[in-house]
Structure 1
């Protein structure tokens, strides 16, 4: 697929200006032959299972055709003459297969630097990776406007104010000592006042069409300060699962006991 796409780009996105040629060839070959050895008469008797008649016939034929020679270690000894004797045939079959893919372009072109948007978007392939030589389209991250940043800060402060209103109940449910709970609630009330003042200033700026950056930064800072100040109360207000389940069961059993 990559090769096809690269070819498509190189021919200026016109398949008629390009040809893709695949050459496939297969070669079969067969090699045959035989193996011969020089054997003595005793060797021939062993080879042919002591059949003297066959051995004598073979030796007679070799003497006529001249396929014999004296043994280098026993010259003149007829029993030790060497005869050229067939041992076995062999056959070797080979099969070769080759495939070649070539591109032929009638026009010169290059796909380097082509914007992916000009091709109708990103080009998919089998392994979801970018095609070599084709630059990825860089998506520019749009910066939020001052109005969007301001409204995002208001959404965040509303969530924080809602959380502050629930701390007293959460501390009580978690079994925190009243003295400690009161101190935490008092601290959160101070944070609440700070958040409300910053929120009010931003809302007034939005309503009056005034610059938003400074008041938005103020509210963002107040939100950040609250998250840091609420770390400890968050830990104390977290009810262990076992204790929460026990309290829930106790609350469910209370009406039955009263009955």
Structure 2
């Protein structure tokens, strides 16, 4: 059965306590409430930015549609102006003038139709530009919120990182000179058992798994040399005896 100085086994509990504190600090670092807020806002930002891009594209398309409608209306107006001028001049045969009059009437109706198309396109453009402005405003607001939360996150991370650095220094000091085999076994068990590789034996139970031991097992443990490394029969962790003495 492996062994290590009893004093080293007791000191191992100090290492365990520091490792637990570091584990808790890392958990806090990974689960800061601000991280969830940033994630939620970032997801919203993605959706809003897609809406902003879509509205910008639609507004661009509608600007071209408005320009085309304006050009079409202007073309009809120019043609009607030329026909009106020719009609007013009285130049041409009665048949030609009659044809001009008929064409002018058609152009007037066509102009009215095209102006309706132009108006509809302009109204659609106004709505698209309004939607784009609203989406951009929301994108800017959420981007600013995320930036503020990132400052809060970075400050919290810096504080926890400083705490972890201090714990690492304390842990190094606590582990200095410990039996190498004992420390290696502890690390292996710690990694396999949720961060706890060693626990005190107190009041007839392992403080790692909180399982009480029967009197026979306790007598067997007490009969072993203080330097013998004892393992909990239930959880397999190192049982540290005499920690409370």
Pairwise TM-score range, normalised by the shorter structure: under 0.3
- Which protein has greater RCO, CA pairs closer than 8 Å, 6+ apart? 2
- Judging by fraction of residues, say which structure has more helix: 2
Structure with higher strand content: 1
Q: Which has the larger radius of gyration?
A: 1
Please report the TM-score for the alignment, with normalisation by the length of structure 2: 0.22
